Structure 1
Amino acid sequence: MENNIFNIQNEQEFAETALTVFKHQFKNNKVYRSFCDLLYIHPSDVKTIQEIPFLPIQFFKSREVVANLDFVEETFTSSGTTGSVTSKHLVTDINLYKESYLKGFAHFYGNIEAYTVLALLPNYLERKGSSLVYMVDDLIRKSKKIESGFYLDNLNELAKKLIELDKMGRKTLLIGVSFALLDLIEMQNFKLKNTIIMETGGMKGRRKELVREELHTILQDGFGVAEIHSEYGMTELLSQGYSKGNGVFETPPWMKILTRDTEDALTINPSEKNGGINVIDLANYNSCSFIATQDLGKVHKNGTFEIIGRFDNSDIRGCNLMVL
């Protein structure tokens, strides 16, 4: 089943596979089973993906969310403020993650070997267990370009490399956190023609938070590009959504975004209505594929989605009985 998820061709196949994965996780994931039991929901009651219960993401902070007893090959952890509890994603088959991000990248951008990959992810490199660093490190190696690599504090060298590669007409991907990209363009202005700028979000307390439109306008001006791309992923997922501009994200065929009613966590919204972001990530076969995040957003009729903010703790309603 795990390998079939990457062969999904249409909505019907997605729905059928998701329902099969739900049954598997209901049976084998103790945390998820307890959660479903609290809601009095059994697989025999569930006929559509909208009826599947979505596990609140906070459970990854307090429980081991796994759907088998296999050896844990990798543990991904979320970044957190000092003293805060971080999420832990126990990965029992790291090859599923690799297949997901490599096929996901290829789905949207083509062969990684066509790119030089430059990474500006200082705050992620300062700690262990980042799923983003794991992915980008592998993309750097898979690009097979001598210039590909991580840049931590050497912004001068990165600026020179960007200009040099762009002048040579080399397809380049610069992937970085928002505050570090802003630091770079404050040091130097660019006019890039062959480079994709991809932000992964996050000021991480280093700068004032900006709304996406404002951030993207500043980055577009600073890098001299028409669009700013974005990556949407998190510690608790094994798949990513990508935006090629305007903050509108798409998902690969094995991932789907729904929104839930902010007052009733068990009700799925119709298209175009703002709500809490629920993610179906079928690559999460060995943990939980159905996650209720703390992001707020909107799903369009064509399945693309936008992130419009986050819940603060006082906004989370309807999940109280499940937060242990």
Structure 2
Amino acid sequence: MITENEIFNIKSPQDFESIAIDIFQYQYKNIPVYQNFCNLLNCNHQSVKSIFDIPFLPIQFFKSHIISDSNISENIFSSSGTTGSVLSKHYIANTNLYKESFTNAFNQFFGNPNEYVILALLPSYLEREGSSLVYMVNELIAKSENPESGFYLNNIEELIEKLNKLEAIGKQTILLGVSYALLDLIEKQSFQLKHTIIMETGGMKGRRKEMVKEELHTILKKGFGVRSIYSEYGMTELLSQAYSTGEGIYKCPPWMKVLTRDTEDALSLVKSATGGINIIDLANYHSCSFIATQDLGKVNDDESFEILGRFDVSDIRGCNLMVQ
């Protein structure tokens, strides 16, 4: 049985593939929904020798089935959605696995949280229960060990005052915000920030007209006076996140990998071309590590990736993507 320590200590592509195959075998045997799905595809689990042989479970299954190897859940994360829409639910058998994943990823991309003041402008997430993003950011705020860190809902004036104060003393700061709320903020006041990372996540949540990522980032860069806009890519159905430090180019932590599938043939993978985004998230040990999303994107030669939009047939849900 694979241990958490092995998942978060992957050193090479060979390590990743070996652990991914072991996790596939475990999930095939212990997650009935996934086993049934693989069987319907006539996948012989014993013949799987490569990650390219592994079936990817359509993300919609999280709306209609319990995807778990356990009858006991420590937590249940749910997606945001429009009124009356069916929400995805991720049943979490081991919350510590999620904590390990987002903490290790943050450390890899940004360093120790206690090096920053962490501010969160996430009104649409705070206004509902079950947000995995709020859970993550709340833990990172605690790990920052800084009384200046915290969440903001509708108290925009207070946030403006806090950003100006932290800028004046040169304190390294991260402001993570849902896109429409960041736009609301810079309409109240523009900034010239030299010590703050602006990180967007989520779309307009029905509060504003959707716009392409490039246009959004151009407006945010001007309004905050920064050279680049960072982005976080995660979703309810995953326990790991990818990050972009600018230009919409995302990179994964070592235990996460993005592949692209043919838009006309969901069972065929493509390289260096736009396709549906398939994600391997080894931190999803107790649910499913192999997810076929409704996102469109492209994987680059260095395994970084870009998000280009969504399948037209997919319903709108709380994912951090701009529609093109």
Fold match by TM threshold 0.5: yes
Mapped to 2, the partners of 1:89 and 1:262 lie a distance apart of 26
1:64 equivalenced with 2:63 (yes/no): no
Distance apart, 1:201 and its partner CA: 2.3
Q: Given the superposition, is the C-alpha separation of residues 168 and 314 from structure 1 closer, same or farther in structure 2, using an over 3 Å criterion?
A: closer
Give the drift of 1:42: 1.8
**In the aligned structure 1, how far is the partner of 2:23 from the partner of 2:267?**
19
Aligned pairs (5 A) from 1:186-201: 186-201=187-202
Corresponding position: 1:41 with 2:54: no
Asked if 1:54 corresponds to 2:56, the answer is yes
Aligned partner letter, 1:39: L
- C-alpha distance in 2, partners of 1:166/1:281? 36
User: What is residue 319 of structure 2 aligned with on the other side?
Assistant: none
Query: 1: CA distance between counterparts of 2:176 and 2:212?
Result: 19
Q: 2:81 & 2:155 partners in 1: Cα distance?
A: 25
Distance 1:143 1:264 in 2: 45
Sequence identity, in percent? 62
Q: Distance in 2 between matches of 1:192 and 1:14?
A: 39
Q: Using the alignment, how far apart are the partners of 1:152 and 1:283 within structure 2?
A: 30
Give the drift of 1:2.
Answer: 3.4
Structure 1 contact 67–288 (Cα < 8 Å) conserved: no
Q: Is contact 1:243–1:249 with CA below 8 Å preserved after alignment?
A: yes
Structure 1 residue aligned with 2:27, among 25, 28, 44? 25
Residue 22 of structure 1 deviates from its aligned partner by: 0.3
Q: Which residue of 1 aligns with 2:303?
A: 303
Q: In the alignment, does 2:212 pair up with 1:211?
A: yes
Give the conservation status (yes or no) of the 8 Å contact 1:77–1:87.
yes
Q: Which residue of 1 aligns with 2:275?
A: 275
- The residue that corresponds to 1:318 in the other structure is none
Note if contact 1:166-1:192 (Cα within 8 Å) is conserved in structure 2: yes
1:10 aligns with 2:6: no
The whole-number CA distance in structure 1 between the counterparts of 2:144 and 2:150 is 10
Give the deviation of 1:292 after TM superposition.
0.1
- Which 10-residue stretch deviates more, 81-90 or 2-11? 2-11
For normalisation by structure 1, the TM-score amounts to: 0.95
Query: What amino acid is the match of 2:213?
Result: R
Asked whether the 8 Å contact 1:229–1:245 carries over to 2, the reply is: yes
SS in 2 for 1:286: coil
How far 1:202 sits from its partner (Å)?
A: 1.1
What does 1:210-249 align with in structure 2 at a 5 Å threshold? 210-249=211-250
**Is the 2:294–2:310 contact (alpha carbons within 8 Å) kept by the matching residues of 1?**
yes
Distance 2:53 2:249 in 1: 26
Count of equivalent residues: 313
Kept after mapping to 2: 8 A contact 1:22/1:52: yes
Deviations 1:38-65 (A, max 9, x none): 0000222211111100000000000000
Q: How big is the alpha-carbon RMSD for the aligned residues of Structure 1 and Structure 2?
A: 1.0
Structure 2: gaps of 5 or more residues: 316-324
* Distance of 2:160 and 2:314 partners within structure 1: 42
Q: CA deviation at 1:269?
A: 0.7
Question: Does 2:213 align with 1:202?
Answer: no
Report Cα offsets for 1:67-116 as digits up to 9, x if no partner: 234x2000000001111100000000000000000000001000000000
TM-score, scaled relative to structure 2? 0.95
The answer for the alignment partner of 1:75 in structure 2 is 76
- Report if aligned partners of 1:58, 1:87 keep a CA contact under 8 Å in 2: yes
Superposed CA deviations along residues 185-210 of structure 1, whole A, max 9, x for unmatched, are 00000000000000002100100101
> Aligned with 1:283: secondary structure?
coil
Report the Cα offset of residue 314 of structure 1. Answer: 7.2
Q: Do the aligned partners of 1:2 and 1:285 also contact (CA within 8 Å) in 2? A: no
Which aligned pairs between 1:93-104 and structure 2 lie closer than 5 A? 93-104=94-105
Q: 1:285 to 1:314 in 2, by over 3 A?
A: closer
1:159-215 deviation line (CA, Å, top 9, x unaligned): 110011011110000000000000000000000000000000210010010100000
